[in-house]
Structure 1
Amino acid sequence: MMSESKVEAEYRAEKRARKDDRGVLEGATSLQLNSGYLEEEFINEFNRAFTLKDHKQTHHIINLSKNKGQGEVITYPFHTGRLRNILPAEFLHKLKTELTELDWHERSNDLYWFHQTDDLALNGGKCIKQLRDYLSGEEFVGFMEQITGVQLTRGYLDIAAQRYKQGNHLLCHDDDVQRGKLTRKIAYIIYLVDEDWKEKDGGALGLFTTDENGYPAKVVSRIIPEFNSIGFFLTGHESFHTVEEVTVVDANRERWSVTGWFYGPVDVLESETSAPPLPSSVLPKLLPLVDSDNEDAAVWRRWINSEYLKPNVQTKIQETFLEQSSVELCDFLLPEVYYNFTAKLTSKVWREQNYPAHVSKYYEASVTEELLLFLRSGSFGRFLTQLTSLDYSRVSQQIRKFDKGDYTLINDQALEPNGLDVIMFLDNLEEPDNVWNTSWGGTIHYIADKDELLRIVPQSNSLALVLRDEGTLRFVKYVNFMAQRPRKEISMTFIEDDTSQ
C-alpha cells in the first residue's frame, strides 16, 4: 500500500495533467458546493451536532443563513448526516444524462441486487470528471473533515453510480473495510432520484441499532432519497445499514445515486477491534437420526410416492445424483400426506426468528407431526442412502417460511456444516396458480467462490437433494414486494457418519 504522501502526490500530479490550456482544471469553476455550507457559522454548528458523543435519539436540523439549503444530523444509532441542495441542479441533470451513456452491470448475490457502473475514476465524461475531482479535492475533503471531525486522506476516493430498479435492494451490512494502512471512514450517497421521489417509492437508507452483543437489531432511522442531497455516515463495526427495497409502482422509475467512501488512516483502536463472533444458535441443531422398530419398506410406503420406491427409478436417481451432486424429485409425498401437513401450517404456528439482520430473516414453525419425525428418522436416512450412496448419522431440521422481506445471507461466522441438503418445498395445492415466480426472489442459490453452481426454484411437493461439500455455500434470495404469497419449506441437512463437526 502506498503511503499517504505518495497517494496525495500522485493524485495532484494527475490533476495537473488534466489542466486545460489556460492552466485551470477543466470544469473547476463551474462546480462548487452550495456556498452557504462553507460558511463558518454553519460548519461550526453542524460539527457540534455531528460530534456529540451521546448516542441517545437525537435529530438536529440546521438551516442555512444564506442560500436555500439545510443540514440534518442523526446521532442515533450512529453518526449520520444529510445536506440538501448541495450542487447546481442543472449540473446534476447533465451528470445523470452522461451516466446513462455508460456500461451498466447487474450486480446480484445474497446481499444485494442493483445495477452499477465501473469505478467512475476510469471514465472520461466531462461532468463525471468534474464531480470526481471536486469530491476528492481539497475544498470538499476539507469541508467533510470540518463538519465531521474525522481525518481524511487526500487523493483516495471510491466513486461509482448505482441504479436500483423495482425490487432492487442492499441488505444489512456495515461497510467496515480496511485497505492496508487506510480504512473507510465516511460513506456517502449523492441522490439523483426523480425530484418527486416519495417515501413510498422505497430505497431509503435504513440505519440499524445494535444489541448488547454488537449485532444489528432493527432499523430505527431512515434517510429518504431526495434529489440534489448527499447522505453520509461514519463507518465501523456498528454502522449496520441497508438500502431498503425499491417499491415504485412504475417499473420505469429508478433510484439513481453516486456513492462511495472517503478513506483515512487506521487508528490503533480500529486495528485492535473486531466484529463480535456470532452465537452457535444462528445455526439449527444437529440431532441423531431417530429409529423405529418397523421395517423400512412399510414405513416408506406410508409417506413416499410409490414411484420413488421402484428399484429402476432409484437407480436412475442415483446415477443423476452421482453425476450432478443434486436431484429434484417432484410429487414426492403421497398427496394425502402432503395436503394434511400443509393444511396444519396455519398463521398461528409461525414465529419470526430473532437472528441478527446480517445473517437471516424468516419465520419458523414449531409443530410436532409424524411426517417431521419420519423425515429425521433412520429409516428415511437409509432411503436417502439408496439414492446417494452416502451413510448418515445426524440431521438438522427446520420448518421455514419466507415472506416479503425475508432472506438468508452467507456469513463467514455462520457457515453451515457440509452435508446433504434435503429441502421439501411446501405450498397450498388449492391455490389456482401454485407456480413460484422467480421474479419474486425466494430461490435457493448454491455458489463456490463467485460462481453460481445451482439455482433451485420452489415447486409444490418437490424434494431437492443437494450435496454441499467444502467450498460450496448457499443462500435464499431476498423475497421482494412483488411476491404474491410466502413460500414454505422443510429444510434439513444430513451429516455423514465420518464427518466430524
Structure 2
Amino acid sequence: MTSKTHPRSPSPPPSAAQPSLLKRLKSSHISEDPPSAAPDPTPHFAADLFVPSNIHRLHTEYENSGPFKHAVVEKLFQDDLLKQVKDEALAELSFSEKETDIYKVYQTGDLASLSYLSEQQLALLPNLLTLRDALYSPMFRNFLRAVTGCGPLSGTKQDMSVVSYRKGCHLLNHDDVIGTRRVSYILYMPLPHYQGWQADWGGALELYPVKPGPDGVPEPEPVPEKSVPPVWNQFIFFEIQPGRSFHSVEEVVVGESEDGRQRLSISGWFHAAQPGEEGYAPEPEPELKSSREQLTSTQTDFKPYPENVDPPLPDEPLSEEHVSFLSEFLNPVYLQARTMKALASRFVEESSLELHSFLCAPLADKLRTGLVEKDDQDGLGPSRATRIPPHTAGSGGAWRIRGPPHKWRYGALRPLEGTGPKMAVSPRWAHADVDDVIRGLQDELYPSTAFRAWLACVSKLLPVRHAEEARRFRPGLDYTLATSEPSEARLDVVLGLTPQVETQGAEGAQNGHTNGHVSTEEVAPVGWQTGEWGGWECYMAPHDEEDDPAVYRSGSSKKKNEANGTNGHSASKEEGAMQGVEEDEEDDDDDGTLLTVQPGFNRLLLVLRDEGVMHFVKYVSAAAEGSRWDICGEFEIGMIQVESGDES
C-alpha cells in the first residue's frame, strides 16, 4: 500500500495590501518589536483580580486541586469587553473546519498575526487586540506565575486562537506537551451569552487522573475525574506537565440551529521565556515522553501458533477438517476454491479486500439482534436518557473499558476466569448470550489454524503470530488514535459487526451485499454510512516529521462520498483548510488518506498495512444510535520458502 506525497505550499507572507488577510491568520509568531510602553491592562480585567488576597486564594486552590494542578477564575475580563470581542470574532474572523484523529473543531488562525495587520485592518478588531495584549502583558504573566509557580513566561511568543465547538466537535485525550509550551488556558464565551450553558449540551473540559503504566510511565485512567462545563467569562489554566496534564473536551451535542448555540472560546498557551527575554533558559530534556510522542508506535501482544502444526503452504487447498470448522462460522461462498482464488488475485493487486456477508446467515442474525438489544440494555441505544452516556456505560458484566485514552478507549471483553476457554456450543448461534457469540469469534475463530490457512489462501501471506480483540466503541466516548508500525508490515483483519440503520427499500444496507456480490442499486446513505457518526477505519500514508501526523481534510461531503466503493477506497477528496494554512489547489487531489471504510455489519476488511502507515478508528459521535462493534485481528506475516529440486 503506497501513496505519493508532495510538500504543501507555505502560507503567503502577510501584506497590508491583502484585503483577505483577516481570513488567513497564520500560525504562532514571535513578535520582533514589542511596544516599549504598553498601556495599563488593569481596567480591562475583572475587579480585584490582582488583589493579593485573591492571588493567594487562587494559589492555594491551585496547589490543592486535582487530578492535576489547575485554577479556575470565575470572571476574568470586564463583561462589556468580552461581549465586544465575541462580536468582532464572529463578524470579522474566518473559522476553518479542522479534523484529525484527535479532534474536530472550527478555528481561526493564530491571533499573534494581529501584529502584522495594517491600521485599517486593526480598526476592525480593536477589542480583540486589547484582549490579546492584556493576556500577554507583564502584569498578567506575573499573575499566572504567582498562582502556578511556573517559570518565566514569554511576552513575545504568543499562541492563541478563537475556537468554536459546534455540534459534533470534540477534542480527545492529550497532555498539550509540544515545544516550549508552559501554561495552557481557555477563556469561555459560550453562545448565546445571555443563556447559561447546560451540562447536557456537552463541551465540558475533562481532567484525567494517572496511574503507572505497564512500563512504569504514568498514563491516564480511562475515565476523567473532573468535568468543568463552559461558563461565560470563565478562565481555566494549568501548567503543562508531560505524563500528568491529560485532558479532553467532551463532544458538543447542540447546534447553531438551537438558539445559535456553540461553545466559543479563546484558547492557547503561554510559552517559556524565549532567547533574549528575561529569565530565558534552555528547555531541559523532559523525563517523560509527551502523549504525542507515545503515539509513534504501539506494542501488540502477539501469540504464536502451535509449533506442532505445520504452516500452510502456498496454493495449498483447505483441508476437509479446516472447511468443516470454518463452515460453523463463515458464509459458504467464501470457502469455495474459486472464490478464494479470485479474492487472492484481487488482494495481491490492491493490498485490501472488503468482504460482505462474511459470516453465515444464522450467526449474523443472532449477532444483529443481540447487539442491538445489548446497547438498549446498557443505555447506549437510540432511546438513551442523554446523548452523551456516562463513562461507565457498558462496562459491566463481560465488558470492561480499555485504555489508556491518550492512545485509545473502547470496550473489550474481560478475560475468562478459570483455566481454558468455554466449551464450544454447536451450532455457534445457539449461545443464549450474544457476548458468548462474540467471544467465540475472538477466542475460537480468529486464533485457529483453520482461519490461518484461510488467510494464507486469500492473501498469499503467511500469518506467523496473531493478536485479536473484540471491541465495542460506545457513542460519545470511544476511539483509537493514529499509530503506526515503523519497521515491518502487518496484516489487519477486521470483522465489522455494527448493526446498520434500516430504511425502507434498502434491505441490502443491513446485511451488506449478498453472497459477496456488489449491488448496483444506489441507495442514499443513512446512519453510519453518512460519515456523520464517525467510527470509520482510516489508513494514512507516512507523514513528514514536520507535519501533524494524522491530519486529513474534513467535512461531511468527503465522508458521504467515500468508503462505499470497491474495497472502500475513497471516491473523492474535500477541498478545505488544514491546520490554519491556506491549501494549494494542486494539493487537493492528495491528502495522504489511503483507505477509509465506514462501519458495517457482517463485513470483513483485510488490509496489508505497510511499515509507517498510520491507522485509527475515528471517534464515535454521540449522534450515533448505538455502538460500533468489531473483531480486530492483527497478524505478523512472513513468507514461505519452498524447497525445489536440483536443477542440474
TM-score (normalised: structure 2): 0.63
Q: Which of 351, 365, 388 is the aligned partner of 2:399? A: 351
CA distance in 2, matches of 1:208, 1:309: 48
Q: Which of 324, 335, 339 is the aligned partner of 2:361? A: 335
Q: Which of 478, 481, 485 is the aligned partner of 2:626? A: 485
Aligned-residue offset at 1:162: 0.8
CA distance in 2, matches of 1:416, 1:153: 40
Aligned-residue offset at 1:316: 4.4
Question: What is the one-letter code of the residue matched to 1:202?
Answer: G
Aligned-residue offset at 1:132: 2.1
**In the alignment, structure 1 residue 93 sits paired with structure 2 residue 83:** yes
CA distance in 2, matches of 1:171, 1:233: 18
Question: What is the one-letter code of the residue matched to 2:593?
Answer: E
Q: Which of 446, 449, 453 is the aligned partner of 2:539? A: 446
CA distance in 2, matches of 1:276, 1:417: 24
Q: Which of 472, 475, 478 is the aligned partner of 2:613? A: 472
CA distance in 1, matches of 2:456, 2:487: 21
Q: Determine if contact 1:137/1:155 at 8 Å carries over to the other structure.
A: no
Aligned-residue offset at 1:133: 1.9
Aligned-residue offset at 1:137: 1.9
Root mean square deviation, CA, Å: 3.4
Aligned-residue offset at 1:379: 2.6
Q: What pairs with 1:142-161 in structure 2 (closer than 5 Å)?
A: 142-151=142-151, 152-161=153-162
Alignment-derived partner of residue 343 in structure 2: 317
Alignment-derived partner of residue 389 in structure 2: none
CA distance in 1, matches of 2:46, 2:636: 62
Alignment-derived partner of residue 599 in structure 2: 458
Alignment-derived partner of residue 167 in structure 1: 168
Q: Which of 190, 193, 203 is the aligned partner of 1:193? A: 190
Aligned-residue offset at 1:472: 0.8
CA distance in 2, matches of 1:133, 1:34: 16
Q: Determine if contact 2:442/2:631 at 8 Å carries over to the other structure.
A: no
SS at 1:38 equivalent: coil
CA distance in 2, matches of 1:308, 1:425: 16
Alignment-derived partner of residue 271 in structure 1: 285
CA distance in 1, matches of 2:442, 2:41: 73
Higher deviation after alignment, 211-220 or 393-402: 211-220
**In the alignment, structure 1 residue 110 sits paired with structure 2 residue 101:** yes
Aligned-residue offset at 1:272: 4.6
Alignment-derived partner of residue 381 in structure 1: 452
Q: Determine if contact 1:190/1:230 at 8 Å carries over to the other structure.
A: yes
Alignment-derived partner of residue 33 in structure 2: 13
CA distance in 1, matches of 2:532, 2:624: 8
Question: What is the one-letter code of the residue matched to 1:271?
Answer: E
Alignment-derived partner of residue 251 in structure 2: 245
CA distance in 1, matches of 2:487, 2:370: 29
CA distance in 1, matches of 2:486, 2:472: 20
1:138-176, CA deviations, whole angstroms, 9 ceiling, x for partnerless residues? 222222223333232231221111111112111111112
SS at 1:466 equivalent: strand
Aligned-residue offset at 1:76: 1.3
When residues 351 and 284 of structure 1 are mapped into structure 2, their CA distance, relative to the original with a 3 A threshold, is: farther
Aligned-residue offset at 1:302: 4.8
Alignment-derived partner of residue 394 in structure 1: 465
Alignment-derived partner of residue 47 in structure 1: 59
Q: Which of 406, 416, 426 is the aligned partner of 2:497? A: 426
When residues 298 and 371 of structure 1 are mapped into structure 2, their CA distance, relative to the original with a 3 A threshold, is: farther
When residues 418 and 14 of structure 1 are mapped into structure 2, their CA distance, relative to the original with a 3 A threshold, is: same
CA distance in 1, matches of 2:149, 2:408: 35
- Structure number with the bigger relative contact order (C-alpha 8 A, sep ≥ 6) is 2
Identity, in percent, stands at 27
Q: Which of 339, 362, 371 is the aligned partner of 2:410? A: 362
CA distance in 1, matches of 2:462, 2:323: 18
When residues 133 and 319 of structure 1 are mapped into structure 2, their CA distance, relative to the original with a 3 A threshold, is: farther
Greater strand percent: which structure?
A: 1
Aligned-residue offset at 1:484: 0.5
Question: What is the one-letter code of the residue matched to 2:53?
Answer: E
Question: What is the one-letter code of the residue matched to 1:239?
Answer: S
Structure 2: runs of 5 or more not aligned? 1-29, 118-124, 274-279, 310-317, 375-395, 415-435, 504-508, 511-526, 544-549, 551-591, 641-648
SS at 1:203 equivalent: coil
Q: Determine if contact 2:69/2:239 at 8 Å carries over to the other structure.
A: yes
Higher deviation after alignment, 282-291 or 384-393: 282-291
1:318-369, CA deviations, whole angstroms, 9 ceiling, x for partnerless residues? 3443343212111122212323455666747641234222122111235452
CA distance in 1, matches of 2:336, 2:639: 29
Aligned-residue offset at 1:488: 1.1
SS at 2:144 equivalent: helix
**In the alignment, structure 1 residue 257 sits paired with structure 2 residue 265:** yes
Aligned-residue offset at 1:485: 0.9
Higher deviation after alignment, 229-238 or 490-499: 490-499
Q: Determine if contact 1:223/1:231 at 8 Å carries over to the other structure.
A: no
Q: Determine if contact 1:177/1:184 at 8 Å carries over to the other structure.
A: yes
Alignment-derived partner of residue 410 in structure 1: 482
CA distance in 2, matches of 1:370, 1:223: 41
Aligned-residue offset at 1:253: 1.5
CA distance in 2, matches of 1:430, 1:83: 45
CA distance in 2, matches of 1:147, 1:364: 42
Aligned-residue offset at 1:309: 4.3
Q: Determine if contact 1:360/1:407 at 8 Å carries over to the other structure.
A: yes
SS at 1:97 equivalent: helix
CA distance in 2, matches of 1:430, 1:32: 53
**In the alignment, structure 1 residue 285 sits paired with structure 2 residue 291:** no
Higher deviation after alignment, 388-397 or 304-313: 304-313
Structure 1: runs of 5 or more not aligned? 1-9, 17-23, 53-57, 59-74
- Aligned length, in residue pairs: 453
